[in-house]
Amino acid sequence: MPIKSNDRINQDQINLVENAQNRIRQKKRLFYHFSIMFFGNISFLTFNLLFGFKDEVVLFDYPWSYLAIALWFLIFLIHFYNVFITNKFMGDKWEREQIKKLVSKQELKITKLKMEFEKEARIKAESEIFNQNNSSSCITLIAAASANNVIGNNNKLIWHLSDDLKHFKELTKGHCVIMGRKTFESMPKALPNRTNIVVTRKLDYIAKDATVVHSIHEALEKAKDDKQPFIIGGGEIYSQSMVLSDRIELTRVHTESQGDAYFPEIDYKLWNEVSREERFKDEKHQFDFTFIRYNKK
């Protein structure tokens, strides 16, 4: 991706230089036109007067030199109009502004690209190191998301689906559960029978019955002895851990919800659906839902 964008930047610069060169050529041509016309006209008049053609009458009763001058002047006016009226908006000032705009746009693009590139490179490097150290474990994201990927609102879950809770408990029991600080605070207490790991940037954060860490990699490092550590949310943590995960246990709740926390879009080029199990709405379940397992390709 960065290579393509760099190509685009180079093309922009080439276009800019070509435009400036065209403009210079245009103006030079106008100057030559004017000079030749000026001296040409004087010569015509001189010839006409000196060599006695002044009484010669041609088309429309004027000497030929007058007509030649008028014609030349008309062409010059058209040329002048093209350069300074039609292309006025492309004058020097306009060009300088365009260059300024382009340069600042390009600088912004380059800075963004650099940041993206550095971020990608950092994530990739960290993931590679991490994968080397944890190649035998199956990092699993577990989530329940509506059809439009909503997972929570105002730091609360949206629905209560008892079979989904059971499913969550069965899968995560005895394992490490890694969560963002907000998800931890949305629960009444640490989840029993699991090693709770809370990710926060707050260096002085204390979480009862949980291990506090300051990055997702540190969390996974803490969970390195677990063959299947679970990342249990919320939105911020899911979106950063997709790249590190091997499996997604998704409960797709068949409703469109409103909320402020989202499950990231699943890129089906990277993930294979390996199983699905449908559940239907009943007195204990407000919506139909489906347990879907995805493995990373």
Ligand X SMILES: NC(=O)c1ccc[n+]([C@@H]2O[C@H](COP(=O)([O-])OP(=O)(O)OC[C@H]3O[C@@H](n4cnc5c(N)ncnc54)[C@H](OP(=O)(O)O)[C@@H]3O)[C@@H](O)[C@H]2O)c1
Would you tell me which residues interact with ligand X (CB under 6 A)? Answer: 143-144, 151-153, 155-157, 179-183, 186, 199-202, 214-216, 232-237, 240, 261
- Give, in degrees to the nearest 5, the angle at Cα 87 between 81 and 88: 90
Residue number, 83 or 199, with CB nearest to ligand X: 199
Residue nearer to ligand X on the CB measure, 182 or 279? 182
**Distance (Å, rounded) from C-alpha 243 to C-alpha 248?**
11
Nearer to ligand X, 44 or 164 (CB): 164
CB of 245 to ligand X, least distance (A): 14
Shortest reach from residue 83's CB to ligand X, in Å: 58
In the complex, the smallest distance separating the C-beta of residue 184 from ligand X, rounded to whole angstroms, is 7
Shortest separation between residue 251's beta carbon and ligand X, angstroms: 7
69 vs 161 by CB, closer to ligand X: 161
Buried b (16+ CB within 10 A) or exposed e, 195-221: bbbbbbeeeeeebeebbbbeebbebbe
Cβ nearer to ligand X, comparing 69 with 144: 144
Sign (positive or negative) of CA dihedral 13, 17, 23, 26 = negative
| Contacts of residue 101, Cβ cutoff 8 Å, sequence gap at least 6 | none
Residues in the chain: 297
- Are the C-beta atoms of residues 270 and 186 closer than 8 Å to each other? no
> Distance between CA 11 and CA 3 in Å, rounded?
12
Cβ distance to ligand X smaller for residue 8 or 281: 281
Is residue 152 classed exposed, middle or buried when 0-12, 13-18 and 19+ CB atoms within 10 A define those classes? buried
Min CB(85)–ligand X separation in Å: 58
- Asked whether the beta carbons of 160 and 168 are under 8 A apart, the reply is no
- Residue 4: other Cβ atoms inside 10 A: 7
Residue 265 CB, nearest approach to ligand X (Å): 15
